Structure 1
């Protein structure tokens, strides 16, 4: 009987996701907000709470994040990763400063204390790699010039989590300096080891994985990815970082074959991840903290856009790409919830959990919209201001923008139909 209920519940979820995805595709927008709303409907305090299939959905959600980051890693080589990290580390510092400070200040203003301030700083700092990877794929921007900049910031954030999570765990547990330092050393060593193996022995790993049989290739790649992600998480390193580095290590025909085989699985489990996030959000807990969460969301959405714009400008990406980079970074998600969950479990501040949930829920819904519309809105405002200054100034500004865009070569030529832009906009 339990098995039958499980099949009915899980089948209903998958069917609902398929219908919501078709609906979103018809109107050309990301289905992520609809998936989240479906999770709210099936979750605690929702219309049809789940029971039998919740544990399976939780496991599927973890696999979804892992596959999203694996597929993103397959798009880039180890040399791309190292060069991007070397050139973009200042963007990581700017990202931390602009987006962690608002959370820390907000916690202190509400009188929550220094430990809660460090926790809320992490909640507002880290973007959602899973959501952003899905949005970039949905909008067809994986090959865009600004995407490596976005990717570099996400990787720097995920690697920073290898330092931040042991620190915050030690603070919440109140452990001594020696124990906290040991945990931090283990996490850093594990992250460094995985990165070294991916960069140094990527070709050997690709040879080991390579197979002409699609079935064997699928099983080996999927098994290796989940294994590395699990080991990384066990060592206090993000499972997403482990999966991403596996993707980086694979190259050539192996990467192409794995990409085509894993794409359907990624889409399925990624949708399950967003439903799972909604499942654990009680709609009744949101209204009391909605105003402070909304204010914090507005501030940190603007700081993330500023971060992406600055980083893309530093990488000599065109103006349109800068706005797209900023808009893509707005979404918060899995890491923010994990950080808040640690604080709630430690009993630091009762209101921190609902606030973080409302905050993430707002930005995980708004994030796909800012990724899609930040650049068109910025272009409209710029054009409007230019018209007010007069036709001569507008013409000069347009000519200057075209000249600047023409100087920047793109990595590939393609048409981005969603934005109605030509191949020059990808440069």
Structure 2
């Protein structure tokens, strides 16, 4: 008799329970995450009236894979470029919120008599809002076009990075079981080092690899390569002492900068959905209903602390960053929940065995409650703002408005600030690269050469020379590269005050380069003359090879910048918009009345006061489109307007199906047909526009074959000629009457 492995039986049970509960939650229009958690509760060890999972260890392995793909997916949506673009408002709001929620969680835990470690992890759990829940709520309520939504999305991007930092810090804290400031600082320094190194290396190598293999890639190979890159980065992260989730997130964020990001996200979505479902089911399996009943009061207290704390801290952060009161209130009430990252932080505590058994189910219960309350809070945010506006003293409102206006006008930086920022980035980036190359040379290159090629001192010398050659372009960039020439020349002309500090900066750069070379030599020869050799090498190298080093470095930099900006080379959006106007992106539904119409026909500026800044059609970007540009299904349109103006036009993009609307033919009658034009056809010698094909047949000419030449998506002014082969999508019954012989 055949024996079915327990793992397959358990997996079938998990997916069956998840399928039933998610169908139910889809029917009642509730988040699917809650359905997965309920499924885990049903098949877990605490409920026995249905079959339960028996091999929990294997399920935890599947769940860890789920975390990897969940973080990989979040990384694909994250993108470091987005982090740079979110601006100061979102960054300040996120930092203020996270700081206060860490404090609120810790104080609440200690007030309830919990251990220090439970209280710290509670603060981490409460500090990160749920991207999935907020996006779903915004879509259902139709508020994605509003100004506060852009700020909320920016805050979520910053929170994702903060959550990754929290995972590293909490892991360090859990392992050391002490609050050593030095150890925490070293952990942060180590994280920053590898983030910079992986990002630079990834952006330089991964897009180049994908571009070189583009012709060989189909959907299958792209999926395999993407998952392979994710798991390779996971192995690297674990190798240097970080969690697998961090590696997955970093590779996702690197791939998010490539031109293949959307395709990779689409291909990996099914894999992510499968394993993420197993992860969330495993979350439910760890919930003991008895604990929920015993800790009903703490759950209520923490839920209130989450809603009120996030509203106050996020709203305060938005106000401090210069946002108006209305936007601050709406932002605070939108972020008042916890979600997927909170589960991952709670899982970390359980895995490391440093938190109590009750903390995990409490976190899940609070997440479930705040998931239900989020849509109602978002909906109530504007009425609550109006209530505050009525009861607040007028002088307070005037002061807030003045503060908001004054901070919005701060857009310029002094030359010193520009120069110092550029020098700081240049120094940090190149020191990270140099340290990485030096350690690779001393830890891997030298042993390989001395063991397999040349033994003894000669092998060590060759290793040193090769490593120095690899570091040379970056040493030149660190010591001699000209940075922000315009700001530097402005400051240099002010002889009395600025030449001394500028010279000191240049001396410091050269000193750092000499130190780097000395550090390199110390890795191979631990002698006191290393510093002298370093000085000689750097002077000789920079003098004789400065021009060649500059040319080689420029090629490296250009390749890096090209890879980094490939997705957005045509997307140049203004940084600041006047008053209450802002940018938003809307997709055109296939049912939208806008489909097929030109911008001059739509007259959206005249009717709604909205301007169209850009159209994204697949990989093609159309900035400031002309009046004759037409809109097509699934086009992404970048609009500029106020909340009210954008709200008025949003319904047009969605498209509304009216049951009473007359339809000229059923969907099954719409087909792709081939018709041969003759001299007796009614449309012979007419242009596509003059023929009236669109109006009379609901048809669209998609291609013409003329004299063996195929014309795809022909221009509407093209004239039909004898023996043209026309490919047209339209009404099967009406097209023959219009195009065939009379």
Pair in the same fold by TM > 0.5: yes
- Quick one: which of 331, 352, 372 aligns to 1:369? 372
In the alignment, which residue of structure 1 is the partner of 2:253?
A: 248
Distance 1:317 1:149 in 2: 16
Alignment of 1:5-44 (within 5 A): 5-44=6-45
Are 1:407 and 2:413 counterparts?
A: no
Alignment of 1:341-356 (within 5 A): 341=350, 345-346=353-354, 353-356=356-359
Alignment of 1:95-106 (within 5 A): 95-106=97-108
Distance 1:318 1:76 in 2: 28
Structure 1, unmatched stretches of 5+, are 347-351, 390-403
Contact map agreement 1:323 1:378 (CA 8 A) in 2? yes
Contact map agreement 2:63 2:278 (CA 8 A) in 1? yes
Q: 1:100 to 1:158 in 2, by over 3 A?
A: same
- Quick one: which of 298, 315, 319 aligns to 1:292? 298
Contact map agreement 1:70 1:243 (CA 8 A) in 2? yes
Structure possessing the higher relative contact order (Cα contacts under 8 Å, 6 or more residues apart) = 1
What is the CA-CA distance between 1:378 and the residue it aligns to?
A: 2.5
Distance 1:95 1:82 in 2: 19
Q: 1:87 to 1:319 in 2, by over 3 A?
A: closer
Contact map agreement 2:169 2:187 (CA 8 A) in 1? no
What is the CA-CA distance between 1:155 and the residue it aligns to?
A: 1.6
Are 1:358 and 2:365 counterparts?
A: no
Classify the secondary structure of the residue corresponding to 1:412.
strand
Classify the secondary structure of the residue corresponding to 2:242.
coil
Classify the secondary structure of the residue corresponding to 1:29.
coil
What is the CA-CA distance between 1:310 and the residue it aligns to?
A: 4.8
* Cα shift readout 1:218-252 (whole Å, capped 9, x = no counterpart): 01101211332343245443433432322222245
Q: 1:187 to 1:256 in 2, by over 3 A?
A: closer
Distance 2:61 2:181 in 1: 34
Higher strand content, 1 or 2:
2
In the alignment, which residue of structure 2 is the partner of 1:395?
A: none
Q: 1:92 to 1:6 in 2, by over 3 A?
A: same
Distance 1:85 1:290 in 2: 40
Distance 2:325 2:76 in 1: 25
Q: 1:318 to 1:62 in 2, by over 3 A?
A: farther
Classify the secondary structure of the residue corresponding to 1:362.
helix
Q: 1:265 to 1:77 in 2, by over 3 A?
A: same
Structure 2, unmatched stretches of 5+, are 393-576, 590-643, 651-742
What is the CA-CA distance between 1:94 and the residue it aligns to?
A: 1.2
Q: 1:382 to 1:184 in 2, by over 3 A?
A: closer
In the alignment, which residue of structure 2 is the partner of 1:84?
A: 86
Distance 2:83 2:95 in 1: 17
* Cα shift readout 1:146-203 (whole Å, capped 9, x = no counterpart): 323212122223224323431342126x9x8877776665445334433443456563
In the alignment, which residue of structure 1 is the partner of 2:285?
A: 279
Classify the secondary structure of the residue corresponding to 1:75.
helix
What is the CA-CA distance between 1:270 and the residue it aligns to?
A: 1.8
What is the CA-CA distance between 1:98 and the residue it aligns to?
A: 1.6
- Quick one: which of 167, 171, 178 aligns to 2:173? 167
Alignment of 1:388-407 (within 5 A): 407=580
Contact map agreement 2:72 2:230 (CA 8 A) in 1? yes
Are 1:149 and 2:171 counterparts?
A: no
Aligned pairs, number: 397
What is the CA-CA distance between 1:105 and the residue it aligns to?
A: 1.6
Distance 2:348 2:73 in 1: 25
Q: 1:330 to 1:260 in 2, by over 3 A?
A: same
Q: 1:361 to 1:85 in 2, by over 3 A?
A: same
